[in-house]
A and B are shown apart, each in its own frame.
Chain A
């Protein structure tokens, strides 16, 4: 059903509050029917960007374009965007049905049409039975769905979501993530979501834009961002990562070799992206890409160390392994792959392939 939504573009969007720059020249495109997530820590400017799109905040510079038309000067009430607020912002004095009917009442729709649309919207989020309840009589998850129904009932050009799941407990959050994703597929509209939860961003989005200090650091499909982070910040914020420092010592057919102390690490890279001999390099290595090796197992890269700390997580273990040249390495290991129960001080051999790690750059502050 994709294609029924509208395309949004941000062009050099900047917002300054006095000398503080909340959003720094962000340019971004959201395709029709796409689910885009703005991801970043608090203070990264993601909410300010959403508020600029919604029209509640006027950008200092730059423009917001809808299907190519500049809508920057339009007030929020003339933009025709649906929005799910943090904490939902349901009207406490109105029933569920009245809440959902609000945007239709504003648009002066006839009673019959209004009723039909409200019913359809409530059925969409499976809340038809709760039409006559007040918001405070509903659970958090149900309130969240009412907010969604209210935001979608008037066929908005765009749906904006401001941390839509942050008020819910973990289990419910996972459930509603699934629902939100299914809903996006069903209605086929353009969704712009804001969150600081990287798991939510990865599981929901067609594309993720990662922000830090008001700047767009990297954008792309979730898997691409996870596998090919461009900077240290992206690698660290999206999942966990080990960072290996070293200098380029030689070129090999698949890539290059860096040295850190007496340890040599082989790293594959594309032909055209090889760093110069002797230059410092930073590699990002995901904890789950490191394997625990037996005595006779081989791998592209092998290091030895001792377990400094470990924790059991049910489905797996997290180990912190102290190595002489690379410092502490974090290793995530599925329980079924752990050869023995780990213990502090135990010597281990770690191994990973030359394609497991990725070179990243340090972020400029």
Chain B
């Protein structure tokens, strides 16, 4: 790649503009979260950590963070188990019908989440899952499946089918082959999918607005309510914490990918 064409000046400028456009709205919350004022604003006289102290000292905020975390963990487990099994099944059978199944698995990210949420609301009302931990976990888990199906399918596409043949040729049963050969090989894909599924649940708002009200009060929901009701800079502090946590997960994913490719 030493002799690859170097990008021209305009291309570089355009690339930077896009990058800034993507990052700027996120970075604005950082100075706002450090404001010394009592309302949502840029710092006036000094930088202050008081709003971080408010968040970390507030039972309501901490409760929401904990609840969001638990829901995200449960949703991730659901998405990873269902998504991985689906991807492996489609890969093993590999027929025209499995292509259809794989496409259907992507529906949750294709359909507008508000449409999805309305449907869930009516459906969950009937089976008494509204405003329940289990209900939100299931909803987030199911909508997280596409991420796992995509990453695991990608990992399987790179999996050498002769390894499976080799395992079976040496007498391994399907479950032994799965446990000892296939799963270890596609583990990085599963972890990637899990991270995305986790992030998906962690910052999901639309569905929560519909199917949860009082008992289940996730972090994005509390930020949403906070913005609607008062302009407390604590929200900016939470937003920064949220971004940092998500960024951490993405970096973890990047590191894992790098290790796999090495």
Please report A residues at the B interface, Cβ cutoff 8 Å. Answer: 54-56, 75-78, 80-83, 85-87, 89-93, 102-103, 105-107, 150-151, 154
Contact = CB atoms under 8 A, between A and B. Distances in A.
B57 to A, nearest CB: 46
B166 A83 contact: yes
B206 interface: no
Contacts of B55: none
Interface stretch (B100-108, B179-187, B219-227): B179-187
B180 to A, nearest CB: 7
Interface string B61-101: 00000000000000000000000000000000000000000
B185 A93 contact: yes
Contacts of B170: 77, 82-83, 102-103, 106, 150-151, 154
Nearest to A102: B170
Contacts of A90: 166
Contacts, number: 61
A77 B169 contact: yes
A77 B160 contact: no
Nearest to B176: A106
Contacts of B172: 77, 102, 106
B257 interface: no
B173 interface: yes
Contact of A83 (B160, B169, B184, B185): B169
Given A56-B169, A76-B168, 4 more contacts: A83-B169, A83-B170, A105-B180, A154-B170
A118 B160 CA distance: 25
Contact of B184 (A77, A78, A89, A93): A93
Interface string B156-174: 0000101101111111110
A102 B170 CA distance: 8
A93 B167 CA distance: 13
B166 A77 contact: no
A76 B164 CA distance: 11
Given A91-B181, A92-B185, A93-B185, A106 B171 contact: yes
Given A54-B169, A83-B169, A89 B160 contact: yes
Interface string B131-152: 0000000000000000000000
Question: Which 3 A-B pairs give the minimum distances between C-beta atoms?
Answer: A103-B170, A89-B166, A89-B162
A106 B176 CA distance: 7
A73 to B, nearest CB: 15
- Say whether chain B's binding surface is mostly helix, strand, loop, or mixed: helix
Contact of A76 (B162, B165, B184, B185): B165
A143 to B, nearest CB: 13
A35 B168 CA distance: 24
B174 to A, nearest CB: 8
B162 A80 contact: no
Nearest to A105: B180
B176 to A, nearest CB: 6
A154 B185 CA distance: 24
A260 to B, nearest CB: 51
Contacts of A91: 163, 166-167, 181
B162 A154 contact: no
Contacts of A56: 165, 168-169
Contacts of A82: 169-170
B163 A89 contact: yes
A85 B170 CA distance: 12
Residue from B169, B176, B180 having most chain A Cβ neighbours under 10 A? B169
11 contacts: A56-B169, A76-B165, A77-B168, A77-B169, A77-B172, A81-B169, A86-B162, A91-B163, A91-B167, A106-B172, A154-B171
Contacts of B185: 92-93
Contacts of A103: 170-171
A102 B167 contact: yes
A56 B168 CA distance: 9
Contacts of B167: 91, 102, 106
A10 B237 CA distance: 75
Nearest to B174: A77
A54 to B, nearest CB: 6
B171 A80 contact: yes
Contacts of A76: 165, 168-169
B25 to A, nearest CB: 42
A31 B78 CA distance: 54
B162 A85 contact: yes
Contacts of B162: 85-87, 89
Residue from B160, B166, B176, B184 having most chain A Cβ neighbours under 10 A? B166
Contacts of A105: 180
A85 B169 CA distance: 10
A60 to B, nearest CB: 20
Contacts of B180: 102, 105
A77 B165 contact: no
Nearest to A151: B170
Given A91-B181, A92-B185, A93-B184, A77 B171 contact: yes
A77 B173 contact: yes
A150 B167 CA distance: 11
